[in-house]
Amino acid sequence: MSTVLATGQEKQSRMQVLPVALAAMGVVFGDIGTSPLYTMKEVFNGPHAVPVTPDNVLGILSLVFWALTIVVSLKYVVYIMRADNRGEGGIMALTSLALRTSKSPRLGSAMAGLGLFGAALFYGDGVITPAISVLSAVEGLEVVTPAFKPYVLPISLLVLIGLFVIQSKGTARVGAVFGPVMLFWFTTLGVLGVMNITRHPDVLRAINPVYAVSFFADNHWIGFLALGAVVLAITGGEALYADMGHFGRRPIKVAWFGYVFPALYLNYLGQGALILDDPSAVANPFYRLVPEPLLLPMVGLSTLATIIASQAVISGAFSLTKQAVQLGYSPRIHVIHTSDKEMGQIYVPNVNWLLLGAVVALVIGFRSSSALASAYGIAVTLTMMIDTVLAFVVVRALWQWRWAPAVAFLALFFTVDFGFFAANSVKIFDGGWFPLAMGLAVHTLLMTWKKGRAALSERMRLDTMPLDLFIQSMFHDPPLRVPGTGVFMTTAPEGVPRALLHNLLHNKVLHARVVLVNVVTDDIPFVPDTERVKVEELDFGFYRVFVRYGFKDDPDIPAALAMCESQGLPFELMESSFFLGRETLIPRTGSSLGLWRERLFILLFRNAHSAADFFCIPANRVVEFGTQIEL
C-alpha cells in the first residue's frame, strides 16, 4: 500500500516538474542550445583550424562531449546549483554565500571584487551573444544561395534592432511560446543528428575519452588551441545556475539530462558524421545537415531560437543591473516593470540602448559570426573560473567539506576552466579584448560608485548631529509642532538627517510625528513581509523605522510604512510629507577617492535616478532640500 502511495506521489511530482522544465527550455537553455550553429564550423575553420581527418573529427566530438559533461553537467548542474541563496542562483548569489564564510575583511573584499568582476563580464556576454547567435543563424541564407550573401548583414541588424526595440513591451506575451519553440528546436537538432549518425554510426565511439587524449597527442599546439573553439559548445552553461531562481534546480536538471543534453550532442555527432562523409561540409556543417527543401524554414527557426537566446541574456542584464543598484554598486537607475503579475519582468531603458549600440557596433565591426567567434569565449571562461573559486570557498567553509574532496573539486574544475581560458587568451588581440574591456569598464563604474558612496557616507557622518542629543534639546527649546507626519530618509539612523535640520531652520516647525526611515538591502534575494519593517519609538514624537529589502525586491516606502501600524505606528499617506535631501557634490583636493575616480563618481551621482521615484514616493508628497557637500 505504501509503495503504491509513494509511486503515486512520485508521478504527481513529475507531472508538476515537467511544465516548469518546458518553460525552462525557453529561457535557460537558449544560449547553449544555439551553440551547434557555429561550434563545429569554428573548429575546422579560421586561423587555428584543425585539419579535417577522421581521427580529428572523433577527437573534437569527444572533447565536446566531455566539456558538456564536466563543465555543464557535473560542475554546474550537480554541484554549483546546490549553492543557492534562498533559491536564487548566479554569480551574485554565489558571491554572497562566499562572503558569509569570510572572517577576514581583506579576504572578503577580494572575494567581493572577484564576484563583481565576474558579474561585470556578463555585460560583455550580453553584447556578444545576440550578435554571434543572430549572425550565425542568418548566415544560413548563404547556404541556400550565395546570392543572399550581401543581405546577411542588413537582415541581422534589422533583427537585432527589432529585438531591442520591443524590450519596452515586456516578454509576458511572447514568453509563453518560448518553451514550445525551444522544445521544437531541440527536437529538430536531435532528429537532424540521428539522420546523419545512421550513415556513420562509428561516430558514437567519440564518447570514449581516449579519442580526446589521442587528439592532443597527435595535434600538440593546434590541439590545445582547438579548445578555444570547443568552448563555444558550453557558452551559456552558467545560465543554468543564474536562472535557477526562476524555475528551481530540479526542473532545470530534468530538462538538461532528460532532453537538452542528448539533443545537443546528437546534433554534434550528426555534424561530425557529415564531415566524415563530406569534408567540404566544414564550411557550415550545421546547415549542411538540413535537407535542401527545408533550408529556408530552418533559417527561420534558427533565427527565432537565437532571438530567444538573446532575450534571455538581455533580460539577465536588466536583472543584474537592478541587483547592483539594490546592493549599492550602481547609482539608482530608471526601471520599468512590464508585467503586473510577474515581479521579475523588468525593462531598464539605459541598459537596453547601451547594449543595442554596442551590439550594432560589434556586428558592423566584425561582419561575420566567424570573426565574432574570436571575441567569444574569453569572458565566459573567466566567469567560469571565478565561479569555481567562489564555489570552492562555499564547499570548504559553508558546506564544511574535508580538505581532500574540496581540493579535488577545485583541481578538476579549475584545471578544465583554465585550459579553456588559456586557449582563448590567444584571441585577445583578435577581438577578445572587447568583452574584457567592457567588463573592466563596468567593473570600474561599479567599484567607483561603491567607494564613492562609502566616502560620501563617511563625510556626512562626520557632519551629522547625534540623534539622541537633538531629541534632548527639543525638551529645552521645543519648536512649533504641526499636525501630520514628517518622513525623513536617512542612511545614518543614529544621526539627524540634513533635510530635518533644513526644515527646522527654514520653516521653524516640526510635524507632530517625525519618522526617520533607514533602508537596508540584505544579501538575500527576497525579505518576507513579516520581516520587512522594525519600528523603534523614541521621545518627543520621534520614530525610527528600519526597512529591509532583498536584492531582488522592489523598494516601496509607502507600502513599507503601511506595515508599521501593527507595531504602533499608524500611517496615512495623505497626511504625510516626505523630506529628501538633494546633495550637490563638490570636488575636494586630497580626496581619498583620487581625482579621476572622484570626478567619475560625481558624474554618476548627478545622473542617478531620483530617490522619490526609486522608492515609489508620490511626487506630490515630496519636499526636497538642497545642500552642498565636499568629498
DSSP codes joined into one string, 233-267: GTTTTTHHHHTHHHH-HHHHHHHIIIIIHHHHHHH
The verdict on 398 and 531 lying in the same domain is no
Question: pLDDT value at position 581?
Answer: 85
Least confidently predicted of 16-25, 396-405, 449-458, 511-520: 16-25
Which residues have CB under 8 Å from 612's CB, separation 6+? 578, 580, 619, 622
Q: What is the pLDDT of residues 426-474, one digit of tens each?
A: 888 888 888 888 889 999 999 999 999 888 888 887 778 888 888 888 8
| Residue 612 domain flag | yes
Average pLDDT of span 522-531: 87
Residue 552 and residue 323 in contact, taking contact as beta carbons nearer than 8 Å? yes
Question: pLDDT value at position 41?
Answer: 92
The verdict on 422 and 484 lying in the same domain is no
Q: Is the pLDDT of residue 424 over 60?
A: yes
- Of the pLDDT bands very low, low, confident and very high (cuts 50, 70, 90), residue 476 is confident
Q: How far apart are CA 161 and CA 208, in angstroms?
A: 44
Question: pLDDT value at position 344?
Answer: 57
Q: Which residues pair with 488 in a beta bridge?
A: 516, 579
Least confidently predicted of 61-70, 252-261, 518-527: 518-527
The verdict on 514 and 589 lying in the same domain is yes
- Of the pLDDT bands very low, low, confident and very high (cuts 50, 70, 90), residue 61 is very high
CA-wise closest residue to 434 among 358, 354, 324, 321: 358
CA-wise closest residue to 442 among 505, 379, 499, 535: 379
**What are the DSSP E strand ranges found in 294-365?**
336-337, 346-347
Q: What is the pLDDT of residues 260-286, one digit of tens each?
A: 999 999 999 999 999 999 999 999 999
Question: pLDDT value at position 3?
Answer: 38
Question: pLDDT value at position 2?
Answer: 37
Question: pLDDT value at position 341?
Answer: 54
Instruction: Give the dihedral of Cα atoms 276, 280, 286, 289; nearest 10 deg.
Output: -70
pTM: 0.85
Average per-residue pLDDT for the chain: 87
- The total of structural domains in the chain comes to 2
Q: What is the pLDDT of residues 192-203, one digit of tens each?
A: 999 999 988 999
| Residue 328 domain flag | no
Residue ending a domain, among 421, 451, 481, is 451
The verdict on 443 and 469 lying in the same domain is no
The verdict on 406 and 552 lying in the same domain is no
Question: pLDDT value at position 236?
Answer: 85
Residue ending a domain, among 394, 420, 451, is 451
Q: Is the pLDDT of residue 566 over 60?
A: yes
Give the whole-number percent of the chain exceeding pLDDT 70: 95
Q: What is the pLDDT of residues 313-322, one digit of tens each?
A: 888 888 888 8
| Residue 436 domain flag | yes
The verdict on 425 and 515 lying in the same domain is no
Question: pLDDT value at position 176?
Answer: 60
CA-wise closest residue to 132 among 431, 512, 456, 411: 431
Q: Is the pLDDT of residue 155 over 50?
A: yes
Q: How far apart are CA 285 and CA 263, in angstroms?
A: 16
| Residue 622 domain flag | yes
The verdict on 442 and 467 lying in the same domain is no
| Residue 479 domain flag | yes
Average pLDDT of span 102-118: 82
| Residue 345 domain flag | no
Average pLDDT of span 349-355: 92
CA-wise closest residue to 95 among 377, 600, 446: 446
Q: Is the pLDDT of residue 4 over 60?
A: no
The verdict on 471 and 609 lying in the same domain is yes
| Residue 341 domain flag | no
Question: pLDDT value at position 8?
Answer: 40
The verdict on 470 and 385 lying in the same domain is no
**Residue 348, C-alpha cell as written in the block:** 531598464
Q: Could you identify the residue written with the cell 556578444?
A: 128
Question: pLDDT value at position 6?
Answer: 35
Question: pLDDT value at position 1?
Answer: 37
**What are the DSSP E strand ranges found in 221-282?**
none
Average pLDDT of span 344-362: 88
Residue 315 and residue 171 in contact, taking contact as beta carbons nearer than 8 Å? yes
Give the whole-number percent of the chain exceeding pLDDT 90: 42
Residue ending a domain, among 451, 474, 507, is 451
Question: pLDDT value at position 418?
Answer: 94
Q: Could you identify the residue written with the cell 536538471?
A: 253
The verdict on 141 and 246 lying in the same domain is yes
CA-wise closest residue to 496 among 458, 460, 537, 546: 460
Q: Is the pLDDT of residue 609 over 90?
A: no
Q: Which residues pair with 534 in a beta bridge?
A: 546
| Residue 427 domain flag | yes
The verdict on 399 and 535 lying in the same domain is no
Average pLDDT of span 8-21: 60
Q: Which domain holds residue 587?
A: 462-630
The verdict on 435 and 495 lying in the same domain is no
Domain at 376, CATH number: 1.20.1740.10
